[in-house]
Amino acid sequence: MRITFLGAAEMVTGSCYLLEFEKSKILVDCGMFQGGNEAVELNQKQFAFDPSEISHLILTHAHIDHTGRVPQLAKLGFKGKIICTKPTHELCKIMLPDSAFIQEMETEWQNRKRLRAGKKPIEPFYTVADAQESLKFFEAFPYDTMISINNQLSIRFRDAGHILGSAIVEMWVTEGSDSFKIVFSGDLGNKGAAILKDPTLIEEADYVIVESTYGNRFHKDTKYKALALLEIINDTIERNGNVVIPSFAVERTQEILYELNTLKEAKTSKLKSVPVYVDSPLAIHATKIFQSFQEYMDDETLALVQSGDNPFEFANLIFTETADESKAINFTKESSIIISASGMCDAGRIKHHLKHNLWREDSSVVFVGYQAKGTLGRRILDGEKTVKIFGEEINIKCKIFSIEGFSGHADQKGLMEWLGSFKNKPTKVFLVHGEEEALSTFSELIHQELGYENEIARLGQTIELTTGSQIQVVAERYTTQKQTVLSSLEVIKNGFNNTFDRLQKHIQENDSVKLDMLRYMLEKIDDTLQDMEKEIKK
């Protein structure tokens, strides 16, 4: 059997693995790449396989970086079965059309600009109709049940504790005289996190494909995350500002609501009472789905629900569904807590709330999830002084916080605990779903502490898996396309041009030129050169 790493390799988004058997081809995940121009390019690329030849697509969970290209797959000829858990199916019913709607809106916006510039219009990756069409291929299964895919492959979903319905996939392969077991970790959740059960520990595997998002980090504030949030909220309200929380619509939003509900219900509640807006239609629908899957919740949440305290309902909680209700939030004088999507700030209503609050010294933005490279969220978190939102340059003056304890991903300790639970050493572990530093630190640690042979999966790499230890690298499937190099150069060129323009403008507009400013500009040029070197190395 051959495995090709087509996404979430050397990066965190675009999860997609092609498994080629003698007589069939199967995919695990078909996610969207997220974060900047590079991601757009990767999403536009043809699939490295013929979608009509894929008999099954197995989904680990509903997040868009694991499912976002499903409608594209169906549009391009996929006619097979999409196998997932029931909550994943229910969440995909709302998330895929929502993703399509965003594609349509953004394409329309870009096309208006393109037409004005005399350029040809472009097509969205897929439409709402494509997304609806792709939903008819879904088949849902419960956790812990053997599912026979064909006579060479059986699988079983186990709870990954990452989002509702998220799964680790155990896979039993029989091919001629070969028979072995592969385990895909999917995204692994945090032990003890609110609402969900802990990730299932797996005892046996020959090959493990493990996520590495926080392979180099510890969540420092897990125990105190609610207190940290409380402090930020109360401080901000005292300053008469708003608390803006960019949050993934699924799971993170519900977890934040759960914590706010706990803070409100506490007998000695210190939480100042202001309106809490959940301003994301997707998050509103996802919250309803959460409420309908009580059997997937952990004992604590279940007990809470059964005692009559719905964690997703409390005084002053307002779900804003329509665009008008959403806009009205920005005109209220009173302080408020605004939870909105998308979690990495690249799309959706959160962009409006950032536009209205980033420049305000009295407001706070609180990140509660991973911000991938190149996303608007990452740039704000990395301390950029200004960002462009809807074509407008916005100064960042508000307070920026990040509470890592809310992350839906296990940290290094959690990942090591999960990997360390195999009774026998796996033949090989492949590291995916991480950025460079996380991957290399984690790889080293696995080797040192667990003695597992492991390797960082490379994008486009194909590897032959067999019984025992023979692993052959077959081919590097991708070569860098001319277009990718050209557009990287375009980004660098624009970076230079912007800096030079600003420098020129500054000199023209001022009678005397401050040396500081010149020095700053030279530093910018130096940064650009360094970025260029990075691009070239890539």
Compute CA distances 199 → 159, 186, 202, 237, 304, whole Å.
6, 11, 9, 36, 21
Compute CA distances 428 → 183, 312, 501, whole Å.
11, 42, 52
**Quick one: 187 or 279, whose CB is closer to Zn ion?**
187
Q: Which of 85, 77, 33 has the alpha carbon at shortest distance from 58?
A: 85
Q: Minimal distance in Å, beta carbon 100 to Zn ion?
A: 19
**Quick one: 63 or 158, whose CB is closer to Zn ion?**
63
Strand locations in 436-525 (E) = 454-456, 461-465, 471-476
For 87, how many CA atoms within 13 A lie in the half-sphere containing its CB?
Answer: 30
**Quick one: 38 or 187, whose CB is closer to Zn ion?**
187
**Cα 257 from Cα 318, distance rounded (Å):** 11
Q: Minimal distance in Å, beta carbon 52 to Zn ion?
A: 28
Q: Minimal distance in Å, beta carbon 250 to Zn ion?
A: 9
Q: Minimal distance in Å, beta carbon 203 to Zn ion?
A: 24
No. of H helices and E strands in the chain? 16, 23
**Quick one: 63 or 378, whose CB is closer to Zn ion?**
63
**Quick one: 62 or 354, whose CB is closer to Zn ion?**
62
Q: Minimal distance in Å, beta carbon 324 to Zn ion?
A: 32
Q: Minimal distance in Å, beta carbon 33 to Zn ion?
A: 14
Burial class (CB in 10 A: 0-12, 13-18, 19+), 178: middle
Vertex 523: Cα angle to 522 and 528 (nearest 5):
95
Residues of the shown chain interacting with Zn ion in the complex, contacts defined by CB under 5 A: 63, 187
**Quick one: 63 or 219, whose CB is closer to Zn ion?**
63
**Cα 319 from Cα 307, distance rounded (Å):** 23
DSSP, res 32: P
**Cα 493 from Cα 85, distance rounded (Å):** 46
Q: Minimal distance in Å, beta carbon 251 to Zn ion?
A: 8
**Quick one: 166 or 466, whose CB is closer to Zn ion?**
166
